[in-house]
Structure 1
């Protein structure tokens, strides 16, 4: 908990200079960002290797790195946000590697878990995740109220197994647990 509070303090300090979260969200860091990111904890085994796409202000990547004892790679294209991520990971003792590059340009060994939050439509997330995900891996995406439409659009391009993890206390958002990803119309063989 102390590491999460230290992260919050750093985020608020840096946010004044580089806009990591919106001004209205700065009032609700815990409920809007930290608690939302922590929802992934039960789905990530301790010691896992995770790639977080579009890490931005550290959500969910740094938060789950703090909470879950994992080896995490944070992918972010904004140089200033990468500087924040590096400093926050160091200060909060997170075993994190920060890659400052566009997701589609990144070449990393596939990981068993990919995460992303508030980044892009599901079809784009899956396209970016597929080459970075181990064949038996799982992508965990925090999604909002348009999840049904995003699923419909993604299924036009991708065949996948999807489990929707919902919490009654958070009807505005779900976690999509996506696995067995392949282009639509292509069968294993």
Structure 2
């Protein structure tokens, strides 16, 4: 395991405009469905958008990604916009899925939405699997494994419980883990590769 610090955030003017379009749409929809917490509305950019932008340096432009539990588009739509990634988002909530489709259309990004529970999804394994604040790591790895290409890697945005979750996951998995200190206080980015069941 190695530790490093997430790279500085820097996006083009065009990307910033598309992210603004996404943010405006998200705030309009949040008034009707729970995409983000009401207390997070004033902090949308630092708490959600910039948090997800930290993953961009670890994603090759145009990469194919499967994003689990996409919710309000974090990090799936952010990566589709900022890394020009080809993102398949898995979201079981029909209202959130409708938002994801509309936001993908409005921002002109390459994205599609599968409305189903993660454990039911059958997809070609992707080079990258992403998730943010979705589930404890042992469960997340169970969901990720069949959807991740053998030579691929997962990027998980986690909170302060990440070290404990890694300890809990270790008995069941062989994996290489890079722990990247998040710009978000108390956060950690886990980059997991060489994932195999023990």
TM-score range, shorter chain: over 0.9
Asked if residue 166 in structure 1 is aligned to residue 181 in structure 2, the reply is yes
> Structure 1 residue runs of 4+, over 3 Å off?
none
- More displaced 10-residue stretch of structure 1: 171-180 or 16-25: 171-180
Using CA pairs under 8 Å that are at least 6 residues apart, name the structure with larger relative contact order, 1 or 2: 2
Deviation digits for residues 124-180 of structure 1, max 9, x if unmatched?
11110000000000000001101110000011211111111114x444111100011
TM-superposed deviation, 1:93: 0.5
Distance 2:163 2:86 in 1: 32
- The partner residue of 1:154 within 169, 182, 185 is 169
Distance 1:20 1:128 in 2: 22
Residue number in structure 1 paired with 2:77: 62
Residue number in structure 2 paired with 1:122: 137
C-alpha contact (below 8 Å) 2:81/2:109 kept by paired residues:
yes
Length-normalised TM-score, structure 1:
0.95
Asked if residue 179 in structure 1 is aligned to residue 190 in structure 2, the reply is no
TM-superposed deviation, 1:102: 0.4
1:82 and 1:170, CA in 2 relative to 1: closer, same or farther beyond 3 A?
A: closer
Unaligned runs of 5+ in 1: 185-189
TM-superposed deviation, 1:74: 0.5
Unaligned runs of 5+ in 2: 1-15
- The partner residue of 2:91 within 61, 76, 100 is 76
Asked if residue 19 in structure 1 is aligned to residue 23 in structure 2, the reply is no
TM-superposed deviation, 1:121: 0.4
Equivalent residue runs for 1:83-102 within 5 Å = 83-102=98-117
> Size of the alignment, in residue pairs?
183
Asked if residue 107 in structure 1 is aligned to residue 131 in structure 2, the reply is no
Q: Alignment RMSD, CA only?
A: 0.8
